Structure 1
Amino acid sequence: MSNFKFIVVLFLTIIFSTTSRGFQKERLDSLEQVFQNQSLSDSLRFLAIQQLTFSMIFSEGEKAKLKIQEVLKTAEKEVGKTRIYYEILQNLGIYYDVNQQTDSSLIIFSEILGESQRQGWKVLEQRAFNNLGMNRLNSSDYRAAIDYFSKSLEISRNDPNAQEANFVHSISNLGLANQELELYDQAIKYHLEALEIRERLNDPNGIAISSANLGICYRLMGEETRAEQYYQQAIENAKIAGNKVLFHRVHDNLGALYIGQKNYEKGLLMLNIALDSSDGFTPDPKMELSIVSNASAAFIEIGQTEKALEFANRGLRVLEENPELINYALTLKNTLAKIYFRKGDFEKGNAFLEEYQELNKKVFSEETARLLTDLQVKYDLEKKENQIALQTAELQEKNATLQRNYFAFAALGLLILLIVGTFVFYQNRNKRKQELLVKDRELKVKEAYIQASLESQEQERRRMAQDLHDGFGQYISALRMYVSQLKSDQAKEELKTELVNRTDSVLDEMSREISNVVYDLMPATLIRFGLIAALEDLAHRINAGQKVNLQIDAKNLPERLDELTEINLFRICQEWINNVLKYAQAKHIMLTVLQDDGQAQLQIKDDGNGFDVRVFQHSKRNGWKNITTRTELLNGKLRLFTQEGQQGTELLVNFPFVHRAN
C-alpha cells in the first residue's frame, strides 16, 4: 500500500482525570445524574455534563452534537454566557473538527479565544490556542498550527501553578506538527514526553492517542516492530476509553502495516474490524476509502480478484459521493487497473492505469509545491522551539552573556538547518523523479507483455488455421476420391471393399488429428480433472515417443487449484517443455510442483545442453514472452539457471498460493 500518511488527528482539551475503566456506560450515567441534580452547584453540574459530552464526541457521533447543543441552551438560560458556557461551547468546536467541519470549528474556537482574552481566563485561553492549532493542522496550515501550539505551551509554562494536564495536549500536538512535516525524530521526542505524562495521569484516551502517533512515526521510519507494539497499545487503550474513532482508525493503520509485510491474513482481519459497524460506529468517507482501498489491494495480491473488485467498487462509490477525496485514491486506482488486467479486460485496465498515472502526477506536483512551503515551515518550527527553550533559560538564568552566546549558536544551527533542509529537499525531488522514471519503465514493460500475449494469440490462430488447412484438406480430398469411386458402377466388389477400408483408415487419421488440435487448444483433462492430471497426460504423450522421459512430482497440493492458476501453470510447462524437446537434446525432464506455507513453486529440470540466458531474454520470439507474461499474471517471480557449454537447465517459478476450489 504505497503513498500513505495515516495521521491521527484527535483532541484533548477538557482537563479531568480518568480511571482505568475509562468512559464506560456506568460513568456516563453517573455524570448525567450529577448534571440533573439541581441541589448541586452550577459549576459542579456543568463540569459533569462537560465531561460527559466530551466523551460522547468519540463514541456517540451525531448524538453528541445534539446533546451539546441542548446543554448550551440550558447553560445560556441558567448561568448566561459565562466561562461555564464557553467551556461547553468548546466541545461543540471539537465535535466539528473531529468530523472535518473545520470552518465551523474555526469560528467557535476564535470566539472562545477572544472572550477568554477579554475576561482574563488564562486556562481557557491556553486551550483555545491549542484547539485552533489542531484546526489549522487539519487544514494543512502548518505555520499557523505551530504558532498556536507554541502560544498555548508558552502560556502554561509561564504559569507557576500550571498542572501537567494543562499543557500535555500542546506537547502532543507539537509532535503531530513535526510528524506532518516528516521530522520524525523530533515528533517521537514530543510524543514520548506526552505519553509519559498521560501514563502518570492514568488517562487511557490520551495514552491511546500518543501510542497511535508513535506507531505512525515508527512505521514511516521503517521500524515496523515498534510500530506494531504502539498500535496494539493504542487499540487497547482506545477500547478502554470508548474512543471508537481512534479504535477503528488504528485497526486500518495496523492492517496496512501487516499487508505491507505480506501478512495478508492478519492484515485483512484488522481491516475487517476497522469496517465493522456492530459497535455503532460508522467511519467517515476518508477513513472508509482508506480501509476499502487497502482491503482491495490485499485481495488482488493474494489472487482473489472478485473479492478485490467488491471492495474497489465500494471505494468508487465513496469517491463518487466525496470527489474532494480524489488525492487519496492512488491505491484504489492502481488496484482497479490490476483487477481488470487480471480479468482480461485490458480496455478497463488501461483506463484505470491512465487515471492512476494522471493522479500520481497531480499528487506529485502538489507534494512538490508543498515541500517548498514546508521547508520554510520547518525553519519556523525550529525557531519557535528555540524561542521556547530561550524563555525557559531566562527563567533559570539571568546571565546576559550566556543569552548572547545562545542566540549565536541558535542562529548558526538555524542556518545549518536551512542548508541541510534545502539539500534534502533537492535530494528528495531527484529521488522522486527517479522513482517516476522506474514506474514509467515498469508500465512500458507491462505493455510489452500484453502485446506479446496478443501476438502469441494471433500466431496460435494462424498456426491452427494452417494445421486445419494442410492436415484436413488432404484427408477430405482423399475421402472425396474414395466416395467417387464407390459411386461408380464400374467398380468391382473387391475394389469397393478396399475403398471402404481406406475410408475407415482416413477417418481414424482425421479423428486423431482433431484430438491433437483440441488438445493444443485446451486439454480436456485440464478442465475436467485439474493441473496434475493434465501434466501426467502430457507426460504420457511425450513418453510414448520413447525419446525423452518426463516425470511429474506434485507435493502438498489440493486436487484442484484456481482455474486461471491451473491454465497459466500448464501453459508455462507446455511452452518450456516444447523448448527443451526442440533444442536441448535432453533425455530426462523432471517437473515438480509444490506449495508450503502460502508459497508455491514450479520447477522444470532437464539434462540437456545449456545455453546463454541472454538468448531468451533478448529474443523477439513469443515463447519466452508468453512464459514471463503468465508468470506476471500469477504475481510470481521467474528465474532461469543455465550456462552455455554445461549440461542441464533449471526453470523456477515462485508465486503466492491461495487455495480456492473451482
Structure 2
Amino acid sequence: MSAFRITLLFFLVLAIPFCSWGMQADRLDSLEKVYLDRKNPDSIRYKAVQELSFSLIFSDGPKAKKLIQETLKTIQKEVPNSRFYYEIYQNLGIYYDVNQETDSSRQIFSEILQKSKAQGWSAMEQRSYNNLGMNSLNSSDYRSAIEYFSEALELSRAKPGAKEGDWVNYLSNLGLANQELELYDQAIKYHLEALTIREKLEDSNGMAISCANLGICYKLMGELDQAIGYFQKAIDNAREAGNKVLYHRVHDNLGSLYIGQKDYKKGLEMLQIALDTSDGFTLDPKMKLSILSNSAAAYVDLGQIEKALEFAQKGNEVLDEHPDLINYSMTLKNALAKIYFRKGDFEKGNAFLEEYQEISRKVFNEENAQLLTDLQVQYDLEKKESQIALQRAELLEKSATLQRNYFAFAALGLLLLFLGATFIYYQNRNKRKQELLVKDRELKVKEAYIQASLESQEQERRRMAQDLHDGFGQYISALRMYVSQLKNAQAKEELKAELVGRTDSVLDEMSKEISNVVYDLMPATLIRFGLKSALEDLAHRINAGQKVAVELQFEGISERLDELVEINLFRICQEWINNILKYAGAKNILVSLRQQAGWMTLSIMDDGMGFDSAVFVHSKRNGWKNINTRAGLLNGELQLNTQQGIQGTELHVKFSQILRTN
C-alpha cells in the first residue's frame, strides 16, 4: 500500500452531525454541561457524553480518551453492563482505531458484537460489524473488511422500516475496501451511490467523506481534474461540518497532487493550510510527517534548500519520536538526500540515499506481498461469484428432480397437514374449554359478591326496620298517652303544662333517634365533604362518649375519591369500629388512610383483646361478610392480624387508587 493511499482512511460509525467550527465549540460546551448536570436523566446525560467524546476523537484525541475512560468508570458503578456502557465503550474502540492501535480496537469491537448479539441490540450489532470492517481495512485485511461491511449492510436493509440513511456508511466503506483492492470502477460506484444519499440527507460531513474518497480514486486512476474537483468539494463540506481531521488531510492530499503537477504555488498553499493548527486541531504524527515531507520535497524542487531543510528537520523530529512510521518516510529521506547533495555534503547525502533505498526495497517487498494478497482476494471474489453461478445451475437441476418427487411429497405433506390441523383443533378445543371454566369461575365469584352485597343490603334494611320499630315505637306510645290526657277537659292546668314539657322532651329524643338512623343509613357529611370529613364526624361522635379514643391519620390524600369507594371504605370503618366497641374492650382506636405509588391502604388498629381470626373469618356473621364484600368490590386485598389472648388487632384493606370522577 502506498504512503499516499493510507493517508486517508475514514472511520464511520455514528450519524452524529458536525457543525461549523465556532458553532461546534459551543455545541461541545453545551453537551458537556448536559452531561455534568446530574439533574438530567441518565439516558440524556450518557447520550450527550457519547456524542461529545465521538466529536472530540477527531479534534482533541487525548481529551476524548480521558473523558471516555472516566465515563466508563462512572457508568460501571451506576448502571453496570448497561447499553449506555457499551455505546460509550464503542467510542474507545474508535479512538484506538483512529490512532492505529488496531489490536486494542479489534478486541473492543469483538466484545461489543458478542454482547449486542446476546442482548438483541440490532443497531449496535450493525455498528459493531462496521467497526470491525474498518479495523480490518486499516489492517489491510480486505477480505474480512468486505465480509463485515456486507454483513452490516444486509442487517440494516433487512430491518423493518429501514431508510437509505441507515446503511449509507456501509456503502461508503465497501467503496473503501474495493478502492484498496484497486477495483476503482467498483469503488467509485459505491462512493457515488453513498454521495447521492448523503446529498439527499444534506449530510455535509458524509458528503465530505464521499468526495474525498472519490478524489483519491480518480487521482489513482490518473484523472486529475476529476480528483481536484472532488477534493475541493470535500474541503468545502468538511469546513461546513467542522470535521477538522478530514479538512487537514484533504489539504495534504490536494497539496501533494498539485506538487505532482509542478504547480508548487497551489501545492505549498494547500500544505501550509494543512499544517496550520491555529484552529485548535492537533495533527496526528503520520499526517504531520506527510505534510512536512511533501513541503520539503516541493522546496527542493524549487531550489530553496534552506527552506526545504527546515521542513525536513521537523519531519525527522517526528520520525525520531515515532520510529514506527519509518515506512512512511521515503519522501522525507529522498528530500534529505537531495538537500545534502546540493549543499555539497555528499557523506550525509549518501547516508540518506541509502536509507531511502533500503526503505524503498522494504516497502516494495511489502507492497508486492500485499499485492499478491490483494490479487488472491480479487481471485477469491471472482471465484465466489463463479461458485454462486454454478450453485444456481445446480439448483435448477435439483429443481427438476424435485418436481418429479413433488406428488409423493405433496401427499405426505397433506397427511402431515391433516394431522397438524387435527392436533391444533383439539388443542384449541381444550384451550376454549379451559377458558370457559375460568370464565365460569369468574361468574361464580361475581355472583357470590352480588349475593353477599344483596345480603348486606337486606341486613341493613332489617337493622333499620328494627331501629325504627324499637326506637320510635315507645316514643309514639308515650306521645299518644300525653295527647289523650291533654284532650281531657277535666285535666288541671298544672298537669297540662307538665304534659307539654314531657311531649317536648319526647320529640327531642325522637329527633336525635331520627338523626342517628339517617346517619347510619348515609351520613350527609360523607356525600357533601367526602371520606375524611365523614371519618372525622364518626370519630367525634365516638370520642364524645369518653369511653374510647379514636385517632385519625391521613397521608397523601389530597383529592376526593370515587363516591362508591368512599362509601365502601366508610362502611368498612363503621362496621369494624362497631365490632371493636361491642367485643374488644379497647381504649384506643387508630384509623389510618394513606396513598402511595398509586395504591391506597386503610388500616384500623385497636388495643383491645385479640381473637381467633380463623374462627372469625369462616363464621357466618353478617358483619364480616359485609366487610369482605365491600373489600371485594374495591378489588382490594383484605388482611386481618390478631391472635387470641394477645392484646391488639389490625385490619388492613389495600387497593389500587381510584380518584373521584366528575
State the one-letter code of the partner of 1:321: E
What's the CA shift for 1:6? Answer: 4.5
- Aligned partner of 1:166 in structure 2 is 166
How far apart, in 1, do the equivalents of 2:347 and 2:128 lie? 54
Distance 1:169 1:112 in 2: 19
Which protein has greater RCO, CA pairs closer than 8 Å, 6+ apart? 1
The 2-side partners of 1:252 and 1:386 are apart by: 41
Aligned to 1:325: 325
Q: What's the CA shift for 1:218?
A: 0.9
Aligned letter for 1:59?
S
SS at match of 1:5: helix
User: Are residues 325 and 17 of structure 1, via their aligned partners in 2, closer, same or farther at CA, if it must alter by over 3 Å?
Assistant: closer
Change (3 A) 1:402 1:219: farther
Distance 1:213 1:61, change over 3 A: same
* Counterpart for residue 459 of structure 1: none
Distance apart, 1:38 and its partner CA: 4.7
Q: Is the 8 A contact 2:18 2:24 kept in 1?
A: no
Q: 2:140: which partner in 1?
A: 140
- Matches of 1:167 and 1:22, distance apart in 2: 30
Distance verdict in 2 for CA 1:380–1:165, change over 3 Å: farther
Moved more, 309-318 or 160-169: 160-169
| Cα separation, partners in 2 of 1:195 and 1:384, compared to 1, 3 Å | farther
The one-letter amino acid paired with 1:28 is L
Question: 1:306: how far off?
Answer: 1.0
In 2 relative to 1, CA 81–183 (structure 1 residues): closer, same or farther, beyond 3 Å? same
TM-superposed CA distance for 1:258, in Å, is 0.9
Q: 1:309 to 1:118 in 2, by over 3 A?
A: same
Spell out, residue by residue over 1:566-620, the C-alpha distance to the aligned partner (whole angstroms, 9 max, x if none). xxxxxxxxxxxxxxxxxxxxxxxxxxxxxxxxxxxxxxxxxxxxxxxxxxxxxxx
Letter in 2 for 1:5: R
CA distance in 2, matches of 1:288, 1:18: 23
Separation in 2 of the partners of 1:128 and 1:282?
Answer: 27
Please tell me whether the aligned partners of residues 330 and 356 of structure 2 are also in contact (alpha carbons under 8 angstroms): yes
Structure 1 residues 157 and 383, CA gap change in structure 2 (3 angstroms): farther
- Tell which structure's C-alpha radius of gyration is larger: 2
Mapped pair 1:71 → 2:71: yes
Aligned pair in 2 of structure 1 residues 382, 7: CA closer, same or farther (>3 Å)? Answer: farther
Contact (CA 8 Å) 1:147, 1:384: kept in 2 or not?
no
Instruction: Give the C-alpha shift of residue 298 in structure 1.
Output: 0.2
Shift of residue 315, structure 1, vs aligned partner: 1.7
- Counterpart in 2 of 1:315? 315
Aligned residue number for residue 116 of structure 1: 116
Task: Name the SS for the 2:280 alignment partner.
Answer: coil
Superposed CA offset, 1:446-499 (max 9, x none): xxxxxxxxxxxxxxxxxxxxxxxxxxxxxxxxxxxxxxxxxxxxxxxxxxxxxx
Counterpart CA distance in 2 for 1:335 and 1:203 is 40
Shift of 1:354: 2.4
Kept in 1: contact 2:174–2:190 (CA 8 A): yes
In structure 2, the residue corresponding to 1:67 is in which secondary structure?
A: helix
CA drift of 1:20 comes to 7.8
1:297 and 2:297 equivalent?
A: yes
Q: Give the distance between the partners of 2:206 and 2:324, measured in 1 at CA.
A: 31
The CA distance in 1 between the partners of 2:390 and 2:174, in whole Å, is 17
Alpha-carbon spacing, 1:303–1:147, altered in 2? closer, same or farther (3 Å): same
Q: 1:402 to 1:80 in 2, by over 3 A?
A: farther
1:379 alignment partner, SS class: helix
TM-score, normalization by structure 1: 0.56
Give CA deviations for 1:306-343 in whole Å, capped at 9, x if unaligned: 11111112222222222222221211122122112211
Superimposed CA distance per residue, residues 23-46 of structure 1 (whole angstroms, 9 cap, x where no aligned partner): 622323333344345555433332
C-alpha distance after superposition, 1:412-456 (max 9, x if no partner):
xxxxxxxxxxxxxxxxxxxxxxxxxxxxxxxxxxxxxxxxxxxxx
The alpha-carbon deviation at position 77 of structure 1 amounts to: 3.0
Distance in 2 (alpha carbons) for counterparts of 1:22 and 1:8: 25
Residue 101 of structure 1: aligned partner = 101
Provide the secondary structure at the position in 1 that maps to 2:235.
Answer: helix
Which residue matches 1:219?
A: 219
- Deviation of 1:254 after TM superposition, in Å, equals 0.8
TM-score, L = length of structure 2: 0.56
Consecutive unaligned residues in structure 2, runs of 5 or more: 401-662
Within 5 Å, give how 1:472-511 maps onto structure 2.
none
1:69–1:293 distance in 2 versus 1, CA, 3 Å: same
Q: Which whole-Å CA distance do the structure 1 matches of 2:139 and 2:124 have between them? A: 23
Letter in 2 for 1:346: F
Give distance in 1, aligned partners of 2:383 and 2:320: 43
1:259 CA drift (Å): 0.6
Structure 1 residue 303: deviation in Å?
0.6
Match of 2:5, SS state, is coil
Aligned pairs for 1:171-570 (under 5 A) are: 171-382=171-382, 401=396
Task: Give the match for residue 12 of structure 2.
Answer: 12
The Cα of 1:292 is off from its aligned counterpart by: 0.9
| Aligned counterparts of 2:357 and 2:263: Cα–Cα separation in 1 | 28
Query: How has the CA–CA distance of structure 1 residues 220 and 169 changed in structure 2, closer, same or farther, with 3 Å as cutoff?
Result: same
Q: Secondary structure at the match of 1:186?
A: helix
Residues 333-362 of structure 1: CA deviation (Å, up to 9, x unaligned) = 221221122112222222222222222222
Give the direction of change, closer, same or farther, for the CA distance of 1:301–1:42 in structure 2 (3 Å limit): same
| Aligned residues with identical type, % of pairs | 67
Q: Which residue of 2 aligns with 1:126?
A: 126
Residue 26 of structure 2 aligns with which residue? 26
**Equivalent-residue separation in structure 1 for 2:149 and 2:380 (angstroms):** 13
In structure 2, distance between residues paired with 1:385 and 1:202: 36
How far apart are the structure 2 equivalents of 1:383 and 1:46? 46
Residues 255, 404 of structure 1: alpha-carbon distance in 2 compared, 3 angstrom cutoff: farther
> Relative to structure 1, is the Cα distance of residues 21 and 326 closer, same or farther in structure 2, using a 3 angstrom cutoff?
closer
Say if 1:314 and 1:387 are closer, same or farther in 2 by CA, change over 3 A: farther
Q: How many Å apart are 1:373 and its aligned residue?
A: 1.0
**Contact 1:18-1:202 within 8 A present in 2 as well:** no
Aligned residue pair count:
399
Q: Deviations over 1:117-160 (max 9, x none)?
A: 11111111110010011111111122222221121112112223
> CA–CA distance in 2 between the matches of 1:291 and 1:17?
28
Q: Per the alignment, do residues 52 and 138 of structure 1 end up closer, same or farther by CA in structure 2, a change over 3 Å counting?
A: same
Q: Which amino acid aligns with 2:225?
A: T
Q: Which residue identity does 1:365 align to in structure 2?
A: N
Give the secondary structure class of the aligned counterpart of 2:136: helix
* CA RMSD of superposed structures (Å): 3.0
- What amino acid maps onto 2:221 in structure 1? M
Cα deviation, residue 385, structure 1: 8.0
Q: Distance in 2 between matches of 1:165 and 1:222?
A: 31
Q: Which amino acid aligns with 2:230?
A: Y
Q: Is this contact kept in 2: 1:43–1:84, CA < 8 A?
A: yes
Give the counterpart letter for 1:67 in structure 2.
Answer: L
Tell me if structure 2 keeps the 8 A contact 1:205–1:243. Answer: yes
Q: 1:19 to 1:290 in 2, by over 3 A?
A: closer
Q: Which runs of no fewer than 5 residues in structure 1 stay unpaired?
A: 406-662
Give the conservation status (yes or no) of the 8 Å contact 1:19–1:203.
Answer: no
3-state SS, counterpart of residue 24 of structure 1: helix
